Amino acid sequence: MRLVRTCLVLMALLTTVNLAAASLRAQNEARELWLIRAQNLTSDLLKDATDLSAMQRAVLWGKLGERWWREDPKRARTWLTNAIEVVEQVPNKETREEREERLWAARILLTIVTPLDQKLTKRLVPVLTDERAGYGDALIDAAITIVNDDPKRAAELGATALRSGTTSQIRLLLAPLRARDPKLADSLFIQALAQVKQNPGTMLANSLMYVAFPVQRGLSADTPVPPEPLRAELLQALLPLLNFDPANREDPSATCGAVRWLAPLYGEFERLLPQQMQIVRQAVNRCHWNDPVNQQRINDYTHNQSLDTVESLLNAAAEAKDQQVRRDYEYRAADLAQENKNYELALKILDDMPKEQREAWGESWTLPRWGWAADGAIEHYQKKRFREMNLILDSVPSDLQPLAKASFVDRLREATISETAPILQVLNDAIKGLRKSSLPEADKYYWYFALLKVTVKYQPADANQVLKDAVAALNQFDYPTLAGAYVPFCDVGGPLLEMDEFIVKDAIASVTIVPMRAQLRLSLLAATLQRLKN
């Protein structure tokens, strides 16, 4: 019996070993296939690079190095080094446009290499430092990429950016830094505040205002803020802007501009610096504006009007004698209603505005009209109010409905999706609406790619046609010649990876705008390498 048991144990062990070996072979084979696919995409990207400008090519090399850094560090370092060498070279007769393009590329490369390698980062710093153009903000961008993993180093980069004297976007770093390490955030705020004290009328001061007084600057009330003493110290640093220069009594425009800029903080001055309120009041009383909206807003701030509810703003609109002031109150009421997630009321306020007012405001009316409808539909969907979801989307003007429905589908987070039937109805309406829409074809490509994500997951049979629609629209896009111009683009690598490889390959190859084609391949490469990693 003992011999039998021993044999059985040995057989079980052999079976386990064989299964493990088979599993390992399968994993290695799958990994090899993903690796080959990634290498093929990289070869296509390197071919694309030959048709790009020198600086666009440098950025592409940088992005290739970033994506391959883990799997093939030697080749990745070569690409990054080559990219840096390109931006280091200054032509003898560099034009203004060429210089701007080179600095644009250097900024992007700095953001890429900062989380990867400090030696490569140090090579890029002189490129931007010598020019003094955008260096500080480039460092802020780089710091943001590492703030979650290395807040101390991010703070050091922020301090370097401040010392350069060329940054105005410190708030973009201070917000995530405060979430990770409030002490480091306070220290960096104090360093920025020291500069503001020397020169309060700067964009850096404006940036700190958003950090210290987010609500007064239109940000969320949940935004963390520095301690009260630091907030009071910032107000104290701004006070000199409100002192009228006796030698310049005939032209008080500079001080009146400061009054207009600081008016939203009037209540904070009264709360944190009550002993200095006389200076503020005198500055306000000496300024008068021809613009009725501007005058009314300052009157509201300085007379402590509690216009902090939708009802109070609508009442003020009803009492306003000037039409511009009335429309301003209405728009503020609509904006506050959507912040409170009362989307139906917000949209009703917009819809009640006269046609000429809507046309005069242009995108200031149309963007919230379809954007808020999408947000409201998401709110209804998450609470399983599907009838209300459809009603709020169908109430959007017909020419904007495809955007509202596409935005609804795009903004839905996968983790929140419970029932798919209501989504598929909206998805199909959005696709059909885009095809029939009078929107220029070049404005549709982004939305087709956004819809492709959901189509691949829930209606894969329709994905090929949506991809064709996206490429056709993309080929109509007027790609900007200005280096660094923002081009909206969806990250569609994941959905493309779920489609037939050869169909996707042919579709991407048919994109005629080389930078856009490269962007698609980069997105697909990132998803492929992620699959390889997993």
The domain segmentation of the chain, as residue ranges, is 306-361, 365-422, 440-534
With bands split at pLDDT 50, 70 and 90, how would you rate the model's confidence at 468? very high
User: What is the longest distance spanned by two Cα atoms in the chain?
Assistant: 112
What does the alpha-carbon distance between residue 456 and residue 463 come to, in Å, rounded to a whole number? 5
3-state secondary structure of 306: coil
Q: How many CB atoms lie within 10 A of CB 388?
A: 17
The mean pLDDT value for 120-135 works out to 76
Residue 7: band (very low, low, confident or very high) from pLDDT cuts 50, 70, 90: low
Q: 302 or 204: whose pLDDT is higher?
A: 204
DSSP of 465-514, one letter per residue? HHHHHHHHHHTT-----STT--------HHHHHTS-HHHHHHHHHT--SH
pLDDT digit string (tens) for 366-397?
999 999 999 999 999 999 999 999 999 999 99
Residue 156's alpha-carbon distances to 68, 70, 137, 185, 205, in angstroms, are: 27, 25, 14, 11, 20
> pLDDT per residue over 243-258, tens digit each?
865 554 545 566 788 8
At residue 190, the pLDDT reads 96
Please report which confidence band the pLDDT of residue 64 belongs to, taking 50, 70 and 90 as the band edges: very high
pLDDT band at 163 (very low <50, low <70, confident <90, very high): confident
pLDDT, position 51: 95
Q: Which of 287 and 302 is assigned the larger pLDDT?
A: 287
Q: What is the mean pLDDT of the chain?
A: 88
Q: In the chain, what percentage of residues exceed pLDDT 70?
A: 90
pLDDT higher than threshold 50 for residue 41: yes
Q: pLDDT tens digits, residue range 416-432?
A: 888 889 999 999 999 99
**Could you give the CA distance from residue 123 to residue 161 in angstroms, rounded to a whole number?**
16
Lowest-pLDDT choice from 116-130, 279-293, 340-354: 279-293
Whether pLDDT at 17 is above 60? no
Helix axes 363-382, 386-394, angle to 10 degrees: 170
Tokens for 162?
């401040």
Question: How far is the CA of 26 from the CAs of 12, 19, 21, 111, 365, in angstroms?
Answer: 21, 10, 9, 37, 56
Compute the C-alpha angle 480/484/487, nearest 5°.
Answer: 55
Give the range among 18-32, 45-59, 468-482 with minimum mean pLDDT: 18-32
pLDDT per residue over 493-522, tens digit each?
999 999 999 999 999 999 999 999 999 999
pLDDT value at residue 232: 95
Please provide the distance, in angstroms rounded to a whole number, between the alpha carbons at the two ends of the chain.
Answer: 46
8 Å CB contact between 188 and 159: yes
pLDDT at 99 over 70: yes
Residue 196 is predicted with a pLDDT of 93
128-143 tens-digit pLDDT: 875 555 678 888 988 9
User: Mean pLDDT over residues 313-329, rounded?
Assistant: 87
> What pLDDT does 250 receive?
47
